[in-house]
Structure 1
Amino acid sequence: MSTTQSERLRGLLEPLVSARDLDLEEIEVSRAGRRGVLRVIVDSEDGVELDTCAELSRTISAALDETDAMGDGEYVLEVSSPGADRPLTEHRHYVRALGRLAKLTLTDGDELVARIIAVDDEGLDLEVPGVKGRKPTARRAAFADIARARVEIEFNRKDKKEEEA
């Protein structure tokens, strides 16, 4: 996708997404045969419901029909939330992952799996699970020391709402 097209799409879509209190995470344009595919990834503090994606898809489709941002050819529009395996790249991603288990690859090559306990402007406070009955340990990771991070899927994790009940 050309930078100009990317900038035009972002300029067109950002206000529509923001109007629904969502964050525009990613715009991806690709080809599927003769058709173009526009993938719009949105997220929020509370996640994104399917109905919200459907409503936003209709709004975006109408706005795209009024412009030539996708050119004259046919295209498919996909509006969705990020997948569970999405990398944590922005400060807000870490904030949304509070209380979750994450796999971090540090810039020195070390890898660790730890629960995100707190997030501030400089980095993360983590709880590294104990091994073989040992107690968990606290650890600090500065954002500058994190090469990659992503949330680990926990099938037996208690939801915040369950814990509050």
Structure 2
Amino acid sequence: MALNLDTIRATAERVAASHGLDVVEVEFQGAGKFRALRVFVEKNAAERAKLAESADSETLPKGVPVEALSGVTHEDCATFAQDFGTVLDVEDLIPGAEYTLEVSSPGLDRKLVKPEDFTRFMGSLVKLRTFTPVNNNRQWQGRMTRFSDGLLTIDLTATKQKGKGKKKLTEQTVDIALANIERANLVAEI
């Protein structure tokens, strides 16, 4: 039986929904007895809204917007891991005897994968790499200012640029197609 990450993700989403959580990302790495299934979870939209309503300035980290917080506690991760691990074993979704299940929050420098991620974190700093160069550069960092019709606009004046094209940089913004983004992460602003 081969590992089917899509089936594992769907199962994780089903279990997470019963706990008021959303699955952000699922990764499977390693070989032999060093295999690890990593699942990153956060509170779902309804639970994050409750967190925002009940939060006060003293309970939140300074300089971190409420929307950037996943709201996940150690207890959330432990409970999800126990239930999800049981389902993985009962349904035999991971072939072989040994693997480690790791469950955590996506963190402040979380990956942005889905179009909804880019919309949700509009106005945040982002660091990204493209599959093919845009204006002779594959590495970009800036503030997301617009996301529409699969096209992301970032303000380059928000940060110092790195990469080949940094000395030739004359534009203030750059448009990058979502399909051309190889990897994107939030940049923590603390």
Q: Which residue of 2 aligns with 1:10?
A: 9
- Share of identical aligned residues, percent? 28
Instruction: Could you tell me which runs of 5 or more consecutive residues in structure 2 were left unpaired when the two chains were aligned.
Output: 49-69, 160-171
| Structure 1 position 36, deviation (Å) | 4.2
Q: Which residue of 2 aligns with 1:149?
A: 184
| Structure 1 position 16, deviation (Å) | 0.9
Amino acid in the other structure paired with 1:75: Y
Amino acid in the other structure paired with 2:81: S
What do residues 99-145 of structure 1 show as CA deviations (whole Å, max 9, x unaligned)? Answer: 211123453242432211232232223333268xxxxx455433245
Q: 1:122 aligns with which of 150, 175, 182?
A: 150
Amino acid in the other structure paired with 2:157: P
- By relative contact order (CA 8 Å, sep 6+), the higher-ranking structure is 2
Distance of 2:78 and 2:177 partners within structure 1: 38
| Structure 1 position 63, deviation (Å) | 1.9
Q: Which residue of 2 aligns with 1:80?
A: 104
Distance of 1:11 and 1:72 partners within structure 2: 20
Distance of 1:112 and 1:66 partners within structure 2: 44
> Does 2:36 correspond to 1:37?
yes
| Structure 1 position 147, deviation (Å) | 4.6
Q: Check the 8 A contact 1:18/1:24 in 2, yes or no.
A: no
Q: Which residue of 1 aligns with 2:87?
A: 63
Amino acid in the other structure paired with 2:120: R
TM-score, length-scaled by structure 1 = 0.66
Q: Check the 8 A contact 1:17/1:24 in 2, yes or no.
A: no
> Does 2:33 correspond to 1:25?
no
Q: Check the 8 A contact 2:24/2:106 in 1, yes or no.
A: no
Instruction: Could you tell me which runs of 5 or more consecutive residues in structure 1 were left unpaired when the two chains were aligned.
Output: 132-136, 156-165
Change (3 A) 1:3 1:38: closer
Task: Give the superposed CA RMSD.
Answer: 3.4
Aligned length: 150
| Structure 1 position 3, deviation (Å) | 4.0
Change (3 A) 1:148 1:78: closer
Amino acid in the other structure paired with 1:70: I
